[in-house]
Each structure stands twice: as structure tokens, then as C-alpha cells.
């Protein structure tokens, strides 16, 4: 265990991990050390570069707050979040595809009744959303919990606006007896992920843009079914093929169709054009023991 050279150190660290009681943790740590050491050797990492990396990760942690998770943003922009998601959701055909949670999900969104307007008075094109929730067998899922959140007309989330008096474009619904959720909001816009922290530094240093295509987030949960975290993306958005967090899937793109002034499906009368989104979500069965 003395006089370690650049090859022997890896075997020595891995040997010390063999007493780890949890076999899963032992496997993860062994692989982490092996790949991390191989990376250091591959690029011949300098002491200055390692110090820069430590400073970068330190500042990433310091940038996290109760409403901002810089490590999730870094994970998203490096494609790790969508890779973990892909490994975790191999549900097969017939169910709605998942995608990343993103850094702006907030626990405890306000409960709203079906048909509510969650725009909180924000300016934007009115959008009427109709979403059905069912199991793989086609049976409607009544009482499913549906969290929704999205950006405003300028590309910001409510938690990014310190002047906001409360939540906006964010709510929790419960599907009705036929498995439907309906609500009013405003049309989301494409937007840049926050670039005022370490993740933004990484994007600039690697010559990448920070934009995400317009979308609405959904998190759906029902007894006996796997929780689904997904987006619905706006068809035709300029960033669908270069999403900064690699989260777009073809099956999740929908037309947010423009409607003429007149009466909406719920009887609301609008004197200007509005948008309509129709989405059908299919949840996979919960894994045994989950």
C-alpha cells in the first residue's frame, strides 16, 4: 500500500472497497473509481485542471437553493438525466414515454379543481388543455394525481420571478371519473436554461446554446401504476432538434392548435384566438414490490 504508481493506485483503492457491506454500493463505487481513474489517465489531468474541477463542483453546490437545483441542471445539460431516465423506464410499447423532471419541479403545487385557470393573470395566448389518463389496458384512471408546470410567455418559470406573489402556471389536479383533466393556462414558450451559474459556464465553454423547446411538464401518479414524468412539446418549435437537455422524444410532440375566437369546449367565450392541446397519457403498471 506504499509507493503507489499511476497504475497500482487504482487496484489499491478498489481493494479497500471490497469490505463495503452493501453489494450494490460496492459495485457502484468500484466502477466509479475504475472509470474515474481511467479518465484521469486518459486525458492526463493536471493538478490545475483538477483544482478547477473541484472549484466548479463546489460552486455548483453553492448555487443550489430551495427553488433552484444546479446539480440537476448540470446533469440535464450533460445528458446524464435522460440516460438515467432511459435505463429506468423500459416499460415497452403501449405506454407514454417519460423524460426528464427538470430543475423547476416544486413539491406541494397548489391543488386546483378541474377546469381551473392556472395562468394567475399572466399575459399570453390562452391555452385549453384536455388530458386523458388511462392504464395500458385502456381503462380510465379516475383520481390520478396530475402535476403540471411550464414557462410563461417570456420563457420564465414562476420560481425564477422573485416579484411573483405566488405560484403561477403550476398546479395539481385529480382526474375525473372518466380519467380526464382539463384546465386553462397560457401558451408556453421556448427558453434558455439558467446560464448564470456553473452549468451556464460549461455551455459557453463548449460552444453550446442553452435553449429548450416550448413544452408543458406533467407528472402523473395513480395507484397500481408507475409514476410518469414527461413533457408535451410544441410542434414546430425551433429547438426540437437541439434541446439543451436532450429530452425531446418524437412521441411527445403535439400540435397546440390555434382556434378562432368563439366558444371553447367548456363554454368559455373568447374574443381572440386561443390554443388547444389534447393529450392522452397511458401509464405502465407498477413494478412488483414497488
Residue 7's pLDDT is 75
Residue 164's pLDDT is 77
- Tens digits of per-residue pLDDT, 54-86? 999 999 999 998 878 899 999 999 999 999 999
- Residue intervals of the chain classified under CATH 2.60.130.10 are 77-283
Q: Is 181 helix (H, G, I), strand (E, B) or coil?
A: strand
Looking at the chain, which runs of residues are DSSP E strands?
Answer: 126-135, 145-150, 170-174, 180-186, 191-192, 211-212, 215-221, 228-234, 253-254, 257-259, 262-263, 269-270, 274-283
Would you tell me which CATH number, out of the four given (2.60.130.10, 2.30.300.10, 3.90.950.10, 2.40.440.10), belongs to the domain 77-283? 2.60.130.10
Torsion of CA 86, 90, 134, 280, to 10 degrees: 40
Contacts of 92 (CB under 8 A, 6+ apart): 284
Residue 1's pLDDT is 54
Q: State the chain's mean pLDDT as an integer.
A: 94
Beta pairing partners, 274: 259
The predicted model gives 26-34 an average pLDDT of 98
Residue 27's pLDDT is 98
Which of 195-199, 241-245, 286-290 shows the lowest mean pLDDT across its residues?
286-290
- Tens digits of per-residue pLDDT, 178-237? 999 999 999 999 999 999 999 999 999 999 999 999 999 999 999 999 999 999 999 999
- pTM beyond 0.75, yes or no: yes
Residue 166's pLDDT is 85
- Tens digits of per-residue pLDDT, 101-127? 988 898 899 999 999 999 999 999 999
CA atoms within 13 A on the CB side of 173: 30
**Contact, 119 vs 166, CB < 8 A?**
no
Strands 228-234 and 180-186, by their bridges, are: unpaired
Residue 162's pLDDT is 80
Cell numbers for 210, please give them: 442553452
Residue 68's pLDDT is 83
Which of 124-128, 131-135, 166-170, 204-208 shows the lowest mean pLDDT across its residues?
166-170
Residue 62's pLDDT is 97
Amino acid at each position: 500500500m506504499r509507493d503507489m504508481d499511476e497504475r497500482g493506485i487504482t487496484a489499491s483503492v478498489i481493494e479497500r472497497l471490497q469490505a463495503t457491506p452493501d453489494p450494490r454500493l460496492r459495485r457502484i463505487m468500484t466502477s466509479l473509481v475504475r472509470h474515474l481513474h481511467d479518465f484521469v489517465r486518459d486525458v492526463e489531468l493536471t493538478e490545475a485542471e483538477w483544482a478547477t474541477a473541484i472549484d466548479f463542483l463546489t460552486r455548483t453546490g453553492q448555487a443550489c437553493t430551495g427553488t433552484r437545483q444546479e446539480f440537476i441542471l448540470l446533469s440535464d445539460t450533460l445528458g446524464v438525466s435522460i440516460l438515467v431516465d432511459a435505463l429506468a423506464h423500459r416499460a415497452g410499447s403501449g405506454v407514454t414515454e417519460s423524460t426528464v423532471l427538470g430543475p423547476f419541479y416544486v413539491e406541494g403545487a397548489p391543488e386546483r379543481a378541474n377546469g381551473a385557470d392556472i395562468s394567475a393573470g399572466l399575459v399570453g395566448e390562452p391555452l385549453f388543455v384536455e388530458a386523458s389518463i388511462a392504464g395500458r389496458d385502456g381503462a380510465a384512471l379516475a383520481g390520478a394525481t396530475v402535476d403540471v408546470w411550464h414557462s410563461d410567455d417570456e420563457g420564465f418559470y414562476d420560481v425564477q420571478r422573485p416579484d411573483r406573489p405566488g405560484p403561477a402556471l403550476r398546479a395539481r389536479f385529480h382526474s375525473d371519473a372518466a380519467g380526464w383533466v382539463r384546465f386553462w393556462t397560457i401558451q408556453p414558450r421556448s427558453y434558455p436554461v439558467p446560464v448564470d451559474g456553473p452549468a451556464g459556464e460549461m455551455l459557453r465553454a463548449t460552444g453550446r446554446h442553452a435553449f429548450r423547446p416550448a413544452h408543458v411538464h406533467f407528472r402523473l401518479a395513480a395507484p397500481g401504476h408507475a409514476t410518469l414524468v414527461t413533457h408535451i412539446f410544441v410542434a414546430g418549435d425551433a429547438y426540437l432538434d437541439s434541446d439543451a437537455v436532450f429530452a425531446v422524444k418524437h412521441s411527445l410532440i403535439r400540435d397546440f392548435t390555434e382556434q378562432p375566437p368563439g366558444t371553447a369546449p367548456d363554454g368559455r367565450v373568447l374574443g381572440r384566438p386561443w390554443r388547444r392541446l389534447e393529450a392522452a397519457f397511458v401509464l405502465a403498471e407498477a413494478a412488483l414490490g414497488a
